[in-house]
Amino acid sequence: MAIEHKKSSGLGEWLEEVAFKAGLAEHSFVSGTTVIKPYGFQLWENIKGLLDIRFKDRGVQNASFPLFIPEKLLKKESSHVEGFAPEVAWVTQGGNSKLDERLAVRPTSETIMYAHYSNWIRSWRDLPLKINQWCNVVRWEFKHPKLFLRGREFLWQEGHPVFAFQKEAEADVMAALEDYRHTYEEHLAIPVTLGKKSESEKFAGAVYTTTAEIMMPDGKMIQGCTSHYLGQNFSKPFNIQFLDKDKKKKFAHQNSWGFSTRSVGILAAMHGDDKGLVLPPRVAPIQAVIIPIYDDSTKSKVLKAASKLRGDLRGLIVSIDDRDGYTPGWKFNEWEIKGVPIRIEIGPKDIEKNQVILVRRDTGEKKAVKSSAINTEIRKLLNSVQEDLLAKAKKFLDSHTKTAKNLAELKKNVEGNRVRIMWCGSDKCEAKLWDFGAKISCIPFDSKPSGKCAICGKNASKYQVYAAKSY
């Protein structure tokens, strides 16, 4: 059961092994497809539940739309179909009959949803319309499958609200992004950088794309989620119009925003170590596991104490590993791989001393705690684990953020870091980053542009960006 790959030697290989041995997921028979196992799915459900509450607090309703999209719908918005064409899987035959029209297997749902929206929206009274769906999507083009991080099929949510005015829509873009930031930082203990994507990196069909960018442990950046302002780019081809209060017909303003199971892979990679997963308590499927230590003569007594202990911890997610045939050491190892935040050891000597032993998964620190104080102490410890994981991740991000004034400094620092540079905004300069495997991660909202472009040396008073290698 031990993890053979070292995290520092290759994040991809380490993540594949940990995800499999921890019971998160495994590859299926079609390349790029994944089986998410119960432990991994519970982790996703916990994350999903936190987001769903926030969405509903903003008046968003869940719905479900078809998996199959007629080709004519996908082609209605030209830049959208151009951007997604290489990734679309097509159904051309049903049973023994060839279809009259190809059907796209949902790569994203703008087109199918908006075709229905055009029938639903007639008046300003119908707005805003705030709909989200939790579903799977299929995107066929990619190079190397990686569990959770890159695959042909994955789970996500996609929000597709409609508004009468641009101001409302843009406020919603930021509200969704804040939902994502809060989930990553407050629950997954992962720091994010909020900003806009460059024109070349924005969503196909969007006016602009906002993003939450995350640094992985190998120094590469990954897109944690996105929130797009679509303007009227879809309402016009799909004829989503409403009669306003002034009795004039107007095209609606739209957004889309999404968050996927990629977050599970990011979470595993961010906090895990050479022993396996390290899960933040606020999303962990099991927050504490009780390991009873006994022999035949003490089994009944210890198991009774373990059961009482779990009852005392009501309100927390606690499991007892009372399986026979496995040594305590074997169990310790298995639950370390699974990343359970706290291990609770209890044996005959502990019962005599009226205590238990608490072991933190993130640091390995052991602590003897009186049974009467267990409820208070374990909650303190869980809060400490949560806060320390975020602090550690923030420290890593800060220490791997560099600044470069020219191309030479950028090339020197980009391996294993993100590099803050000035950028003139030209496509030509951006393309030069691609020559050495980097790109613009985002244009951060808190940027303070001044000076000269690090790539061409021209005035760059408009953009300060992060350049990095990425997933």
The predicted-structure confidence for 252-294, as pLDDT tens digits, reads as follows 999 999 999 999 999 999 999 999 999 999 999 999 999 999 9
pLDDT value at residue 77 = 80
pLDDT band, residue 223 (cuts 50/70/90): very high
Average pLDDT, the chain: 96
Q: What is the pLDDT of residues 347-402, one digit of tens each?
A: 999 999 999 999 999 999 999 999 999 999 999 999 999 999 999 999 999 999 99
pLDDT class of 85 with cuts at 50, 70, 90: confident
Range from 19-28, 74-83, 438-447 carrying the lowest mean pLDDT? 74-83
What is the C-alpha to C-alpha distance for residues 142 and 85, in angstroms, rounded to an integer? 13
Amino acid, res. 150:
R
pLDDT at 123: 98
Q: Is residue 460 very low, low, confident or very high in pLDDT (cuts 50, 70, 90)?
A: confident
Q: Where in the chain is the domain with CATH 3.40.50.800?
A: 288-381
Mean pLDDT to the nearest integer, 96-106:
96
Give the pLDDT of residue 353: 97
- The DSSP code sequence of 269-306 is HHH-BTTB----TTT-S-SEEEEE---TTTHHHHHHHH
Confidence band, pLDDT 50/70/90 cuts, at residue 84: confident
242/239 Cα distance (integer angstroms): 9
CB distance 89 to 68 below 8 Å: no
The three state secondary structure string of 317-344 is CEEECCCCCCCHHHHHHHHHHHCCCEEE
Contacts of 229 (CB under 8 A, 6+ apart): 169, 170, 173, 206, 207, 208, 210, 253, 255
Helical residues (DSSP H) of 60-160, grouped into ranges = 71-74, 78-84, 110-120
Q: Write the pLDDT tens digit of every residue in 399-413.
A: 999 999 999 999 999
Contact 130, 58 (CB under 8 A): yes
Residue pair 422/449 in contact by the 8 Å Cβ criterion: yes
> Range(s) for CATH 3.30.930.10 in the chain?
7-271
Q: What percent of the chain has pLDDT over 90?
A: 93
pLDDT of residue 144: 82
Q: Are 39 and 24 in contact (CB under 8 A)?
A: yes
Does domain 401-468 sit in CATH 3.30.110.30?
A: yes
Q: Report the top-level CATH class of 288-381.
A: alpha beta
User: What's the pLDDT score for residue 73?
Assistant: 93
* Choice between 21 and 141, residue whose per-residue pLDDT is larger: 21
- The confidence score (pLDDT) of residue 141 equals 75
CA distance 323 to 371: 23
- What integer pLDDT is reported at residue 39 of this predicted model? 98
pTM of the prediction?
0.96
The confidence band for 89, taking pLDDT boundaries of 50, 70 and 90, is very high
**Encoded tokens for 79:** 């830049």
pLDDT in tens, 311-335: 999 999 999 999 999 999 999 999 9
Are the C-beta atoms of 217 and 265 separated by less than 8 Å? Answer: no
**Does the bond joining 280 to the residue before it have cis omega, within 30 degrees of 0?**
no
What's the pLDDT at 18? 98
Angle at 10 between CA 6 and CA 12, to 5 degrees: 110
> Quick check: 153 and 159 in contact, CB under 8 A?
no
Domain with CATH 3.30.110.30 in the chain: 401-468
Q: How confident is the model at residue 75 (pLDDT cuts 50, 70, 90)?
A: confident
How many whole angstroms from its chain centre is CA 219? 17
Predicted confidence band of residue 81 (pLDDT cuts 50, 70, 90): confident
Residue 78 has pLDDT above 80, yes or no: no
Q: What is the dihedral of CA 380, 381, 383, 384, to 10 degrees?
A: 120
Crossing angle of helices 262-271 and 11-21, rounded to 10°: 100
Q: Report the pLDDT averaged over residues 461-466.
A: 92
Tokens at 18, concatenated = 């940990």
- Mean of pLDDT values over 166-188: 98
The stretch 28-41 carries a mean pLDDT of 96
Fold of 7-271: BirA Bifunctional Protein; domain 2 (3.30.930)
Q: What pLDDT was estimated at residue 386?
A: 98
pLDDT at 142 over 90: no
Is residue 427's pLDDT more than 80? yes
- Region 435-461: mean pLDDT is 93
Contact 188, 284 (CB under 8 A): no
Residue 106 pLDDT level (bands cut at 50, 70, 90) = very high
